[in-house]
């Protein structure tokens, strides 16, 4: 008995912005960005609402359901379109659902926080949860600041999580937060993101390594059992450092930041989609899904596909 992931979908703007295009207006280069981050291009456009609705429709169809079948909508976002109402409410209306709808914000860890919240809802009687990660970070980036502008992109990903009486895909989870680190990555109202990149890097590696170890210990498995690692897509050097410390070969990591940049709460479901399309998600295998973000927050889960 437990939770099953039954459908996935994505929503991406059409417009691709390459590193070369950014270097026309910023003192930067494709070489610097690719070498220091692994990012080569990102998608820009749409709204948190429009991208989220596109991903939501695709996930519901992939699960073989209709919007009327959904009992709860959770939207993980750092960039809601408005203070009120919640962007989840507007997506509910756009897709033609009638259930409860709620935004959650744990920054880039938001989707994995959402997985845990959805599990709690399902364990207490909610049958089907639509979990969306959607971000329009381009609206909150200072396009004159090369230290942050090159990192982020827009996009959305969604999944349907359902109660199952026969199987359980979500084996263990660890969530954490250190609100004392709020100032190292922050965005005030009517402002843009500011970041102490090196401090975020240092803390991120420690947070994902420790929480991944904790999630594996709770699941009763070791790094050798991990067939696939789906990390938050912020910087390939963070993913490399994490893989090294956990002794998980880099070939097992899913990388999407080269084409999408850092899409915050959307990055993990977008990576799931790529992993699926590449045929890397296999029944019975363990995946480590792990992320970190502003807060600072972090979250790791062990998933075994049924
Ligand atoms: N292009 C060219 N040069 C740049 C640049 C850019 N886009 N951004 C910064 N630089 C410059 C800096 O100004 C600095 O120049 P200086 O030595 O003359 O002062 C130099 O490059 C080195 O900067 P530094 O900050 O030490 O680089 P770094 O190797 O730490 O890389 C990040 C910067 C942001 C890529 C890296 O710290 C990082 O990824 N941190 C984590 C950020 C993150 O994950 N955020 C999201 C969390 S969810």
* CATH number of domain containing 238: 3.40.47.10
119 and 10 in a single domain? The answer is yes
Q: Which long-range contacts (CB under 8 A, 24 or more apart) does 22-28 make?
A: 22/149, 22/150, 25/143, 26/143, 26/144, 26/146, 26/149, 26/150, 27/146, 28/146, 28/150
30 and 149 in a single domain? The answer is yes
- Nearest-CA residue for atom 13 of ligand 1: 147
Backbone angles phi, psi at 166, to 5 degrees: -120, -20
Q: Give me the residue label for tokens 């003192």.
A: 27
29 and 144 in a single domain? The answer is yes
- Nearest-CA residue for atom 10 of ligand 1: 147
Instruction: Return the ligand 1 atom nearest residue 232 CA.
Output: 48
What the block records as the tokens of 169 is 């895909």
Domain of 235 in residue numbering reads as 170-304
150 and 296 in a single domain? The answer is no
**Predicted confidence pLDDT, tens digits, the chain (306 residues):** 899 999 999 999 999 999 999 999 999 999 999 999 999 999 999 999 999 999 999 999 999 999 999 999 999 999 999 999 999 999 999 999 999 999 999 999 999 999 999 999 999 999 999 999 999 999 999 999 999 999 999 999 999 999 999 999 999 999 999 999 999 999 999 999 999 999 999 999 999 999 999 999 999 999 999 999 999 999 999 999 999 999 999 999 999 999 999 999 999 999 998 899 899 989 999 999 999 999 999 999 999 988
State how many domains the chain has.
Answer: 2
Q: Which residues pair with 11 in a beta bridge?
A: 156
E strand map for the chain: 2-11, 16-18, 41-43, 72-76, 100-104, 128-136, 154-164, 170-177, 185-186, 194-195, 226-231, 286-293, 297-304
Instruction: Return the ligand 1 atom nearest residue 201 CA.
Output: 41
Identify the domain boundary among 164, 199, 222: 164
124 and 176 in a single domain? The answer is no
Q: How far apart are CA 281 and CA 5, in angstroms?
A: 12
Identify the domain boundary among 137, 164, 191: 164
Identify the domain boundary among 164, 193, 212: 164
Instruction: Return the ligand 1 atom nearest residue 293 CA.
Output: 48
At residue 227, the pLDDT reads: 97
156 and 14 in a single domain? The answer is yes
Name residues contacting ligand 1 (CB within 6 A).
28, 32-33, 36-37, 108, 146-147, 150, 185, 195, 197-198, 200-201, 204, 234-235, 262, 293
191 and 144 in a single domain? The answer is no
191 and 82 in a single domain? The answer is no
CA of 147 to the centre of ligand 1 (A): 5
CA of 27 to the centre of ligand 1 (A): 12
At residue 1, the pLDDT reads: 85
267 and 156 in a single domain? The answer is no
23 and 148 in a single domain? The answer is yes
Backbone angles phi, psi at 226, to 5 degrees: -80, 115
Q: How far apart are CA 131 and CA 269, in angstroms?
A: 10
At residue 132, the pLDDT reads: 98
Q: How far apart are CA 245 and CA 209, in angstroms?
A: 7
At residue 281, the pLDDT reads: 86
Active site residue 108: yes
What the block records as the tokens of 218 is 């709770």
Question: pTM here?
Answer: 0.97
28 and 134 in a single domain? The answer is yes
240 and 153 in a single domain? The answer is no
Q: Which residues pair with 131 in a beta bridge?
A: 74, 159
At residue 306, the pLDDT reads: 86
Which of these is catalytic: 105, 159, 187, 232? 232
């Amino acid at each position: 008995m437990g939770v099953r992931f039954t459908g996935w979908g994505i929503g991406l703007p059409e417009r691709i912005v390459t590193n070369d295009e950014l270097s026309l207006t910023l003192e930067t280069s494709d070489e610097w960005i690719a070498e220091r981050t692994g990012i080569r291009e990102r998608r820009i456009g749409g709204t948190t609402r429009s991208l989220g609705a596109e991903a939501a429709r695709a996930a519901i169809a992939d699960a073989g359901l209709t919007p009327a079948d959904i009992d709860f909508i959770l939207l993980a976002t750092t960039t809601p379109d408005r203070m009120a109402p919640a962007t989840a409410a507007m997506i509910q209306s756009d897709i033609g659902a009638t259930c409860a709808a709620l935004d959650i914000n744990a920054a880039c860890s938001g989707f994995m926080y959402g997985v845990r919240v959805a599990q709690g809802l399902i364990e207490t009687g909610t049958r089907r949860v639509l979990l969306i990660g959607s971000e329009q970070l381009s609206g909150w980036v200072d396009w004159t600041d090369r230290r942050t502008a090159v990192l982020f992109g827009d996009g959305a990903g969604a999944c349907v999580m359902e109660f199952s009486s026969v199987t359980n895909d979500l084996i263990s989870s660890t969530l954490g937060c250190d609100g004392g680190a709020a100032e190292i990555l922050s965005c005030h109202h009517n402002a843009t993101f500011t970041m102490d990149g090196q401090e975020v890097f240092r803390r991120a590696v420690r947070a994902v390594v420790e929480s991944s170890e904790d999630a594996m210990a709770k699941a009763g498995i070791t790094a050798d059992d991990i067939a696939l690692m789906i990390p938050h897509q912020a910087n390939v050097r963070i993913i490399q450092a994490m893989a090294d410390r956990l002794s998980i070969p880099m070939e097992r990591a899913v990388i999407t930041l080269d084409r999408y940049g850092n899409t915050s709460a959307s990055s993990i479901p977008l990576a799931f989609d790529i992993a699926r399309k590449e045929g890397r998600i296999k029944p019975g295998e363990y995946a480590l899904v792990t992320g970190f973000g502003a807060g600072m927050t972090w979250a790791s889960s062990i998933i075994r596909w049924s």
